[in-house]
Structure 1
Amino acid sequence: MGIFLTIAAGAGILFAISYLSGKGSKKKVLLKENIPNRLGLLEEVPASAILHKLENALPYEYINQVKLRFLSDHPQISDDEFEWRLFELKRYFFLNSIMKSTPMFSSKVDEVWHDMLMFTKQYEAFSERYLGKMLHHTPNLEPEPAPQERAFFDWAFAQLFEITEYTWQAWGDFFHYPMDREVLQKMSSFSDDELKQQLFNVKEDNQELVNYLITQLRAQLRESQEIYNSDKKGAFERPVLFGDLSGLSLVMVFYSYYYFDEYWDYAQAYAYSTQAHGTSSCSAVFCGTGGHNDSHNDGGGHSCSSSCSSCGGGCSS
């Protein structure tokens, strides 16, 4: 009996050592099987018609040509990562169909777009089928994004899509910049038509979706005003999971409207969730510039680690 317990204990120690060493060194990998269906659109978003139009405008033959070229030019990138980059590019095209201005904020996603452009006839056909006009590529050459355009991109993205860990890696920090305060301040006097003219590219097939986004924005501004009346500095629930955007749109609207010049001083308090246990003092919630096993920086010099187990998916050990 004693010999059996000694063997069992020894095996347990070896397993623990093997598990812990593997846990620290085993690299997370992307799996295309984890890509959400329907572009990861949130359930309540009225966008089936636009989604169907986008998918029909991108035939398999065209995408496969782009994929073969991309993987040939980037041998270090896996088939699965290409599919994730393409997934985020489709989301970008989706936003492009409804927003007045949509700069490209991701170098990873932009690389796939570049290869699409190499097949000029197929790309022109895609643009015509999807948008009825040429979708021109304008690279973002600025070291920092246009803050208010990036802010509105983040806000709209959060209203429409499920966020995965790869989303953070592809697009970088979300909600780091305030929304255009002038637009928010004029919302009570703007009609829906004026708001559409200011912010959106409205067509027959996206009117329901644009109306949905305007309703969301007006509701969040009203709620912000109610919060301000009871607490001038605002009080919001902190996210508990990496990539959890629920409630952060409201944080953005509130501090953009009332504390535009001090926006990040206030908003960053809700960018990270405090961990009660573990070796790290915080975990990234909407900082996303690192790799799968990298640390994230909270903008204040503090390094925060994250793992695939605490996010919306996309990775596997």
Structure 2
Amino acid sequence: MTFFYVILAAIFAVFLVNFVKGLSEPAKMERYHNEFRKYQGETLDLRATEIVSEALIEKLNKALDFDYMEKVNTEFRLKHPRDSQLKVNQAWRELKRYLIMAAVFGKVEMFNSVIDELWHIMLNYRQEYDEFCQVFIGRTIQHHPHSEPVFKPDERTLFDFYYVQLFTVDSHSIQKWGKFFKHDKGLTLLRDFETLELEQLKEKYMRKPTSIQAERTFESFTSQFKENRPMTELNWRKTYDQTDYAAPAYFTYASTDDFDSEFKDIFGNEPNTVSSGSGHADHGGHTGSHDSSSDSSSSCSSCSSCSS
């Protein structure tokens, strides 16, 4: 008989918890809506470098309209109730940066499971997602998940190579993506962009087809490798300290034997923990003090997990 009462009490407790949760969820949603409206403006500034076409950023922000973004944001926060809106805005910034890279380049892996989750929620609203992609670049950015563990240092180096040229690298970047150039400095990539002709680079590295704004960004990206960089490299430390612009530091880093000591405050230290990343963008789309201990960074590929 005692056992019967224990079971009954347990059932009642579960019912009570679910009842209270049901009452509190509308209040949570209202709070999340209000906080999103208050801080949404922060998500518009991607802190991109001058390489990224302003028109491309404007198209991204226009395509990801307020109502769609708010729905995705609310669903994400219900799954992560301990995360403040300011923290979620950091994930939005990095997802939008990722989408810029996916619009410009032929293949970009995803290396953060939290950011990928935000992307997956966007995909759950299929009509809105397709409309977003059409307004953004006129093509769907596809997502093909991978469940098996896959270690992809080359793809991670490619991601890092693109990222540090297009965007500032700050503590939020390191927290989300972990250490940059952990596996390789990207010297083969650097050699390609320094020596190949523009049309060859487009054939090998650019997403096709894409928007004219994304193509202009690719052309701007390639042009910096053809220019004389001695003064830029000479002032790399001052440039980074004042602006978080890491490209001049990268060019210096790539030309030295130094893998960590002088540049660890820019590109990060070895992470203490590594968690899974998931998803990648491919041709035709969604096919995909600084501290590098990351809240969800990974150096393995999309929708996979491994220990690097």
In the superposition, the TM-score normalised over structure 2's length comes to 0.64
- Asked if 1:89 is matched to 2:104, the reply is no
Higher relative contact order (CA 8 A, sep 6+): 2
> Percent same amino acid among aligned pairs?
23
Give the match for residue 287 of structure 1: 269
- Whether the 8 Å CA contact 1:165–1:242 is kept in 2: the answer is no
In the superposition, the TM-score normalised over structure 1's length comes to 0.62
Give the match for residue 207 of structure 1: 215
CA distance in 2, matches of 1:184, 1:295: 26
Kindly provide the CA deviation profile for residues 17-68 of structure 1, in whole angstroms up to 9, marking residues without a partner as x. Answer: xxxxxxxxxxxxxx959947531112x3351111111111111111111111
Change (3 A) 1:64 1:290: farther
- Asked if 1:38 is matched to 2:20, the reply is no
Q: Could you tell me which of 266, 270, 273 is aligned with 2:258?
A: 266
RMSD after superposition: 3.8
Task: Output the amino acid matched with 1:245.
Answer: A
Task: Output the amino acid matched with 2:54.
Answer: S
Task: Output the amino acid matched with 2:250.
Answer: S
Q: CA deviation at 1:131?
A: 2.5
Please show how residues 64-213 of structure 1 align to structure 2 within 5 Å: 64-139=70-145, 146-178=152-184, 180-187=186-193, 189-201=195-207, 203=210, 204-213=212-221
CA distance in 2, matches of 1:50, 1:295: 30
SS in 2 for 1:159: helix
- Whether the 8 Å CA contact 2:171–2:291 is kept in 1: the answer is no
CA distance in 2, matches of 1:289, 1:139: 25
CA distance in 2, matches of 1:136, 1:92: 13
SS in 2 for 1:39: coil
CA distance in 1, matches of 2:290, 2:114: 17
SS in 2 for 1:269: coil
Kindly provide the CA deviation profile for residues 187-245 of structure 1, in whole angstroms up to 9, marking residues without a partner as x. Answer: 5652111011111126422333212111223347x76xxx9xxxxxxxx8697799662
Give the match for residue 247 of structure 1: 248
- Whether the 8 Å CA contact 1:32–1:84 is kept in 2: the answer is no
CA distance in 2, matches of 1:248, 1:143: 32
CA distance in 1, matches of 2:244, 2:194: 31
Task: Output the amino acid matched with 2:251.
Answer: L
- Asked if 1:59 is matched to 2:65, the reply is yes
Q: CA deviation at 1:285?
A: 4.9
